[in-house]
Amino acid sequence: MRKENIDVLIIGGGAAGLAAAIEAKNMGVKTLLLERDRSTGGVLNQCIHNGFGLHVFKKELTGPEFMEKLWEELGDLDKIVRTNYTVLRIDHLNREVITLSESGIVVFKPKALVMATGARERSLNSLRIPGSRVSGIYTAGVAQKMVNIYNRLPGKKVLIVGSGDIGLIMARRLKIEGMDVVGVVEIMPEPGGLIRNVVQCLEDFDIPLWLSHTVFRIHGKERLEGVTIGKVDENFKPIPGTERFIEVDTLVASVGLIPQNGLIEDFVEMDPINRGPIIDDLMRTTVEWIFAAGNNVAIHDLVDFVYEEGKIAGENAAKYALGEKLPEVRFEFKRGKNVGVLLPQRFTGTQQFKMYLRPKKTIERSELTFAGKIVRKFNWKIRPSEMIDLKVTSFEDLPKEVVVEVKEIE
């Protein structure tokens, strides 16, 4: 076992982690990024479709192209990035990060830590669908890796369960590659992904979307042979008489992402709705030397937002490591009516920052209020599937607890 002292240690080599490393390195501190896989990039490596980078690079890139931009920004990859490192435990009392590498146990003692551990896919088992667990059932991310990285099709005839963005993109991808995509079933009364993906991935390719539908049963012995689908009511209970059997040999589940915070959830205060750590506008958690950014904080729509958060986390972690006294939290957001995902939850009031939120339900026309004051009006439909971002620039006359609400207007 060996020990190493580091100024800023970053866990996770996706967009948030690399962005944090870029900023920390630019601040002149000793920076190290740990990635458990063989290379950095995370899910971006298998996202060969375009649509990345419009906000931060002002051009439309594929996932690998976006990643290459970050590698170019970082430089010195061999010095800053270590792959095949698994973090076993974080000892927050002694400020130690215990890891397992190919050469054995390595203990790092960082002055500041950035958590950029991302999210994992929810499995089909979480839906508790009756039937055997046969082969031919995949999460959308696994199916995406099979096709885009290993050049292998998962089957011949597929049904997509859940209309999250990855599921919608994979419906299109599998059809392009020659699979018979029979449709997408979504238990909610509206799509779970961005509307642009519904249009570009389903409607443009004549792939049916069945809303308020789910899989009632899985059929097959060794390989999937088919599924029974049907309608559900407003309480998501099956409606008798709506069942129908669909013959498929492949089922792809896109039923949500779960932030990965197992390393810190015992000692960092967590947000039960975001399912990530409570943070302030500096991306600082409730443990002052630990910062967090990206999909482990809350699930984002765009990698551009993840990148921006990583930059903020890296900069402030570096300042902390250099001994700079960071501003104290002065204000706290409280969820009011129709507010679901919300971050940051606290802020210092010393600088402008970007706030993100998701409404709890679809609303035709609405207004966003801070402490009863209107800060933005929406004359278009807002949905839980689409994150709203708002730049907060003024802190005058704000109470310590700022209630955030989304109010319906007629």
Residues 67 and 176 in one domain: no
Q: How far apart (Å, rounded) are the C-alpha atoms in residues 286 and 274?
A: 15
Taking only the tens place, the pLDDT of each residue in 215-244 is 999 999 999 999 999 999 999 999 999 999
pTM above 0.75, yes or no: yes
Residues 218 and 105 in one domain: no
Residues 348 and 293 in one domain: no
Domain boundary among 255, 280, 297: 255
Residues 244 and 140 in one domain: yes
Taking only the tens place, the pLDDT of each residue in 64-115 is 999 999 999 998 888 999 999 999 999 999 999 999 999 899 999 999 999 9
Taking only the tens place, the pLDDT of each residue in 31-71 is 999 999 998 988 899 999 988 998 999 999 999 999 999 99
What pLDDT is attached to residue 124?
A: 80
CATH number where 362 lies? 2.60.40
Closest C-alpha among 348, 338, 340, 402 to residue 375: 402
The encoded tokens of residue 18 equal: 């690399």
Domain range for residue 359? 328-410
Residues 35 and 138 in one domain: no
Number of domains in the chain: 3
Residues 332 and 183 in one domain: no
3-class SS at 271? strand
Which secondary-structure segment (H or E) carries 9? strand 2-11
In the sheet with 244-246, reading across from the earlier edge strand, the strands are 213-220, 224-231, 244-246
Residues 203 and 291 in one domain: no
Confidence bin at 12 (pLDDT 50/70/90): very high
Q: How far apart (Å, rounded) are the C-alpha atoms in residues 65 and 49?
A: 10
Residues 319 and 336 in one domain: no
**pLDDT of 125 over the 90 cut:** no
User: What is the pairing mode between strands 137-139 and 250-253?
Assistant: parallel
Domain boundary among 229, 255, 281: 255
**Which amino acid does the sequence have at 313?**
A
**More confidently predicted of 224 and 132:** 224
Taking only the tens place, the pLDDT of each residue in 240-281 is 999 999 999 999 999 889 999 999 999 999 999 999 999 999
